[in-house]
Amino acid sequence: MSVSASRLRDRSQSTGGGAESAAPSGLPRVQVAQTPLARFEEYLQSKGLRNSDQRRVLLEHVFSRHSHFDADQLIEELPRRGAKGHVSRPTVYRTLKEFVDAGLLRCFQLDGRSVYEHDYGYPQHDHLYCSQCRTLIEFRSEELLRIREQVSAEHNFLVRSHRFIIQGVCADCRKRRQRRKQDLV
C-alpha cells in the first residue's frame, strides 16, 4: 500500500441521494431515469458479470456523496483489511474501471494519478484546479462546447470527449496569501 501525502480536496455539493445529482453552482439538477445501482445492474446483466458484495459496497460508497476522489482515497475511506465491507486494492481498481465502462463515473488524470467523479445523471462540466490546495471547482460553459464543435468540424475530427482544466490559485488561497503578506509587514 502507498499512502500518498497529497490529498485531493473538493468543492462540490453533496447529493441529496437517490436518482438526483447535485449540479455545478447555479445550474439545475438533472432528473435521471434510474438509480446508479439500477443502471449498474443492467450493465452487469448485459455483460454477463456478477453482482458481488464488493461491487455493491463500492457503488454504495461512491454514490453516497458527490465528490472527486482517487483510488487511494476511496480505499482509505473503506473498512480496513479484515473488517466487514473491506475491498482489496486490485478489486477497487478493477471496479472503478467497470464503473467508467458502465457510464457511472468519469475519469481523468491529475498530478499523475486517476481522478474519478460522477458521470451518470450529472451534467457535463469542466474544472478550475487550485494547485495550492488541490481543490477542484466545477463550472459549465455552453460556449466551450460550441468551440469544441467548431474546431472539430474544421479538422473533420470526430469528437468523443474533452478535458478542460484551468490551473491557478483559488479565491480562498488568494485571500490566505494576502493575509500572510500583511502578517509579514
Q: Report the interface residues with DNA, using CB under 7 A.
A: 2-4, 6, 44, 48-55, 70-72, 81, 86-91, 93-95, 97, 112-114
N-to-C CA span, the chain: 45
* Burial category of 24 from C-beta neighbours within 10 Å (exposed 0-12, middle 13-18, buried 19 and up): middle
CB contact set of 27 (below 8 Å; sequence gap of 6+): 123, 140
Which lies closer to DNA via its Cβ, residue 27 or residue 38?
38
Alpha carbon 108 to its chain's center: 8
Between residue 48 and residue 107, which ones bind its own copies under the rule CB under 8 A? none
Kindly tell me which of 17 and 168 has the beta carbon lying closer to its own copies.
Answer: 168
Phi-psi category of residue 157: left, alpha or beta, with phi > 0 → left and psi -120 to 50 → alpha: beta
Q: What is the CA radius of gyration of the chain?
A: 19
CB of 102 to DNA, least distance (A): 12
Taking residues 138 to 157 in sequence order and writing x for each that binds its own copies by CB under 8 A, - otherwise, the string is: -x-x-xx--xx--xx-xxxx
Q: Which does 104 bind (CB under 5 to 8 A by kind): its own copies, DNA, none?
A: none
* Residue nearer to its own copies on the CB measure, 31 or 161: 161
Nearer to DNA, 44 or 173 (CB): 44
Whole-Å CA distances, 29 to 71, 118, 139, 163: 27, 13, 14, 22
- Min separation Cβ 139 and its own copies, Å: 5
Nearer to DNA, 88 or 131 (CB): 88
For its own copies (CB under 8 A), the number of binding residues is 34
Residues 44 and 50: beta-carbon distance below 8 Å: yes
Query: Rounded to whole angstroms, how far apart are CA atoms 137 and 72?
Result: 21
Residues forming contacts to its own copies in the complex (CB under 8 A) are 109-110, 112, 128, 130-131, 137, 139, 141, 143-144, 147-148, 151-152, 154-171, 174
